[in-house]
Structure 1
Amino acid sequence: MAAELDDFVVILAISTLGFISLCNPILGFIKWVWIMFFRSPKNLKDYGSWAIVTGCTDGIGKALAFQLASKGLHLVLVGRNPSKLEATLNAIHERFGAQVETRNVVIDLAKSSGEEISKTMKDVIRGLDIGVLVNNAGLAYPSARFFHEVDSELMESIIKVNIEGATWITKAVLPVMMKKKKGAIVNVGSGSSGGICSYPLYTIYAATKAYLAMWSRSINLEYKKNGIDIQCQIPLFVATKMSRLKRASLFIPSPEMYSKASLRWIGYEHLCVPYWPHSVQCSIMNALPDALKDQWLFNYFLGMRKRALLKDSEIQSKHDPEYHKSLSWLFDCM
């Protein structure tokens, strides 16, 4: 009798563990569906009446500026090109009229010192009810390349724009949010921010975006008690000039498609993938062995590098027939 009871207990324990193991992915999927499609976005005007968007003249940043304006927020637009900033401002005024106030801030994050960035931002936002900050400005390689091929000027610019720019602008804005005990900060990362896989041939860019993820996670804990929600959002491929992808699709959204998803997540998790097809891609990637992902990505980026070199060679050879020969050592690396 005792033996039968012991067997029953073992069977019950195994069945319970099996049931729990089965329920976890089901509950996780239900939670994912609710968050992606049914969870109510926060009213961003509750954070404040003004939003700051960096890198707002093209791509995701420009689309986010329009989305924030559609929610009734006034905008501080930060960029390095005065004419592009003016064009963005005019387009926003044309669509939303006088109901959206704007201020343009011309800063070259690749050339300005941290103190200059911070001082400029403090002067501009003085007296404004800043509620949302979107650190979107980013710089990447013009094409895939090995680490030793990245010239020092490009390397320094990527680090200054992607890391120092976001850090110093946030440092200037945080005191305003702390004073009123509310605010939301969004740092736009990349696939490398989530630690899903390695990014060979885009090493420095990927590393700077990974910084944003850890930085966001840490300062979110520091300032949560002050009513400030800080997160890093992870976009995968989006059809922008930076990605050089022109055609939008389900898994490669337009900046407008991505920005709509982005706004739904502001104020929630410290690390998130706002666009649901990207989230599906991340889940699949996470399930794959690292060795398989690394090799596939390395080959994929090698192909991108080869195409860029061939294109560059064709252009240059028109002016210098010896140019193609000078690139032979690079093609040998493929």
Structure 2
Amino acid sequence: MSPIINFINQLITISRRQQQQPWLVVLPVSALGFIILLKHSMSLLKCIYITFLRQPKNLKSYGSWALITGATDGIGKAFAHQLAQHGLNLILVSRNHNKLEKISNEIQAENPNTQINIVEYDFSCDVVSAGNIKAIEMAIDGLEVGVLINNVGITYPKAMFFHEVDEKEWMDIVRVNLEGTTRVTKAVLTGMMRRKKGAIVNIGSGAAIVVPSHPLFAIYAATKAYIDQLSRSLYVEYQRFGIDVQCQVPLYVATKMASSVASVTKQTLFVPSPEDYARAAIRCIGYEPRCTPYWAHSVQWCFARLLPDSLLDAWRLSIGIRRRGINADLI
């Protein structure tokens, strides 16, 4: 039972025992209801201001270059296009050289003055070591990398119970989502500390934040929870040095990943295109340590917070099992 309900019950009990007038109970309960309504109204107004009225920061003030991991598809690709339009030069990191060349040519056709460096790098390689990260360190050497978008991430090929995930699959997820993000952040921070300015954006997931659990995608959700905690801690550590660290928490976006694991195949009111998401996301860079940039995702999050965890757990489990195509019983 919630503390508010307990408080109301105590008031009613006191009133009955002391035979007080009913208004002595109604008045504090009404005041409490007004405070709760006011709190939610203020939250709504704040959300409207952040989403539609607050001015985005001048990202070039952080530095003239932006580094984007996972830059050849989905959200990462959309970020690359948007940051180029904001006047930033780009360092694009991905494992597919042909795709890197293609997106580089596309962006330069639209923004002829944009300088673009590409780095072919596979975050899922067997050993993501200090030596391996040298490719990225060399690419940023001597450049003012003011914005880092840690977008690279992978998940299960399909919904699976924890014991079904083979070692290579879960180790790849850990290497890409957790270790890769950590190492790239550490590599870029050195220059940001020297210049006393920078913005780091880590792409999290509603699977780890908005809902209390994400059954049948447990390891993926756990790595994204790590990203959220890392971002919050670094935000506190480095804010005084002029470095803004943020975890952005999208829900479903119409990307290849969402299509493969959740059958999300097209844009809807609550499922934005990568381009729409990136436009909203750039407006939030440099502000809150955690945010849900796209307005419709924020609405979904607000409703999710009103529901008990047990109901959300059951709902997520039923979705996972349906996507897996089996009954709940498993040998």
Could you say whether these structures have the same fold, taking a TM-score greater than 0.5 normalized by the shorter chain as the test? Answer: yes
Q: Cα offset for 1:124?
A: 1.0
Q: Cα offset for 1:13?
A: 6.2
| Identity between Structure 1 and Structure 2 (%) | 49
Q: Cα offset for 1:333?
A: 3.2
Do 1:114 and 1:164's aligned partners in 2 also have CA atoms closer than 8 Å?
A: no
Q: Cα offset for 1:16?
A: 4.9
Mapped partners of 1:156, 1:16: distance in 2: 53
Q: Cα offset for 1:296?
A: 1.0
- In the alignment, structure 1 segments of 5+ residues that lack a partner are 1-5, 310-329
Equivalent residue in structure 2 for 1:143, among 158, 162, 166: 158
Structure 1 ranges of 4+ moved more than 3 A: 6-19, 330-334
Mapped partners of 1:293, 1:14: distance in 2: 29
Structure 1 pair 204–14 and aligned structure 2 pair: CA distance change class (3 A): closer
3-state SS of paired residue (1:187): strand
Structure 1 pair 171–295 and aligned structure 2 pair: CA distance change class (3 A): same
Q: 1:106 and 2:125 equivalent? A: no
Q: 1:26 and 2:23 equivalent? A: no
Give the structure-1-normalised TM-score: 0.87
Do 2:63 and 2:198's aligned partners in 1 also have CA atoms closer than 8 Å?
A: yes
Q: 1:260 and 2:279 equivalent? A: yes
Structure 1 pair 235–151 and aligned structure 2 pair: CA distance change class (3 A): same
Structure 1 pair 248–11 and aligned structure 2 pair: CA distance change class (3 A): closer
Q: Which residue of 1 aligns with 2:330?
A: 333
Mapped partners of 2:26, 2:217: distance in 1: 52
3-state SS of paired residue (1:242): helix
Equivalent residue in structure 2 for 1:283, among 293, 302, 311: 302
- In the alignment, structure 2 segments of 5+ residues that lack a partner are 1-20
Deviations 1:127-148 (A, max 9, x none): 1011100000001111101111
User: Match for 1:253: what amino acid?
Assistant: P
Deviations 1:47-87 (A, max 9, x none): 11000000011000000100000101000000111111111
Q: Cα offset for 1:123?
A: 1.2
Instruction: Give the stretch that moved more between structures: 261-270 or 28-37.
Output: 28-37
3-state SS of paired residue (1:252): coil
Mapped partners of 1:145, 1:125: distance in 2: 38
Deviations 1:254-277 (A, max 9, x none): 111111111011001111100010
Q: 1:205 and 2:220 equivalent? A: yes
Q: 1:297 and 2:322 equivalent? A: no
Q: Cα offset for 1:303?
A: 1.1
Q: 1:188 and 2:203 equivalent? A: yes
Do 2:207 and 2:251's aligned partners in 1 also have CA atoms closer than 8 Å?
A: no
Equivalent residue in structure 1 for 2:109, among 73, 83, 94: 94
User: Match for 1:265: what amino acid?
Assistant: C
Equivalent residue in structure 1 for 2:91, among 72, 76, 81: 76
Give the structure-2-normalised TM-score: 0.87
Structure 1 pair 141–12 and aligned structure 2 pair: CA distance change class (3 A): closer
Mapped partners of 1:332, 1:26: distance in 2: 44
User: Match for 1:267: what amino acid?
Assistant: G
Do 1:51 and 1:68's aligned partners in 2 also have CA atoms closer than 8 Å?
A: yes
Deviations 1:264-296 (A, max 9, x none): 110011111000100110111111111111111
